[in-house]
Chains A and B, each alone.
Chain A
Amino acid sequence: AQKITQTQPGMFVQEKEAVTLDCTYDTSDPSYGLFWYKQPSSGEMIFLIYQGSYDQQNATEGRYSLNFQKARKSANLVISASQLGDSAMYFCAMREAFSGNTPLVFGKGTRLSVIA
């Protein structure tokens, strides 16, 4: 069974600093994808970054990077140069690639607050 664990209910970071949001996962499927989504107070789910289980390099998208450590089953999100607009809930999620129903299994989220 899939499982995503986000151990930080809330985080604070100073504007312009970098912050790491933790995510560990558990799956027996060798093929899977890891996603991070941002949910601002308006409620929509915004896709940030993706990492495939076979990808050799860590994914990066602008100020977002994913620190993928496969052996440790961790997929931490790093946000560099935090901005006030980064204040939101962040969800780590995983989807197995080759099962019949491939729901996106979510962690419980981390609320990030960026302080000026």
Chain B
Amino acid sequence: EAQVTQNPRYLITVTGKKLTVTCSQNMNHEYMSWYRQDPGLGLRQIYYSMNVEVTDKGDVPEGYKVSRKEKRNFPLILESPSPNQTSLYFCASSLAPGTSYNEQFFGPGTRLTVL
């Protein structure tokens, strides 16, 4: 089954404790992206990756890191989480840009609370 998986689905942590949210896709997609969703703000892009070892900042990258060592995985790293990073996080993947139909497939979401 084609899918994007994220782990963990729910996480409560404390300020400053480093954490990683994993994301994996099995569709051989080149493009992967992380979004955060906050009430009243919709979804905003944090980081994206066009392919292995190619990553770049989205609209709200502060406080986050990513890596893309393998095509299927795109982990999101919070080196020192703060309460303003409490949010619902989505990983998404799609074929490379340039195709006319390039739906992004979303993972199930990770609900993060930073105390």
- Report which A residues bind B (CB closer than 8 A): 31, 33, 35, 37, 43-45, 47, 50, 52, 54, 91, 93, 95, 97-104, 106-109
Contacts and interface: CB of A to CB of B under 8 A. Distances in A.
A33 B48 contact: no
Contacts, number: 66
Interface of B: 31, 33, 35, 40-43, 45, 48, 50, 56, 58-59, 88, 90, 92, 97-106, 108-109, 111
Contact of A33 (B40, B102, B108): B102
A44 B41 CA distance: 17
24 contacts: A33-B101, A33-B103, A43-B88, A43-B111, A44-B106, A44-B109, A45-B109, A47-B103, A91-B43, A93-B43, A97-B97, A97-B98, A97-B102, A100-B50, A101-B48, A101-B97, A102-B31, A103-B33, A104-B35, A104-B43, A104-B45, A104-B92, A104-B104, A108-B40
Contacts of B111: 43
A50 B109 CA distance: 22
Contacts of B56: 101
B42 A107 contact: yes
B100 A33 contact: yes
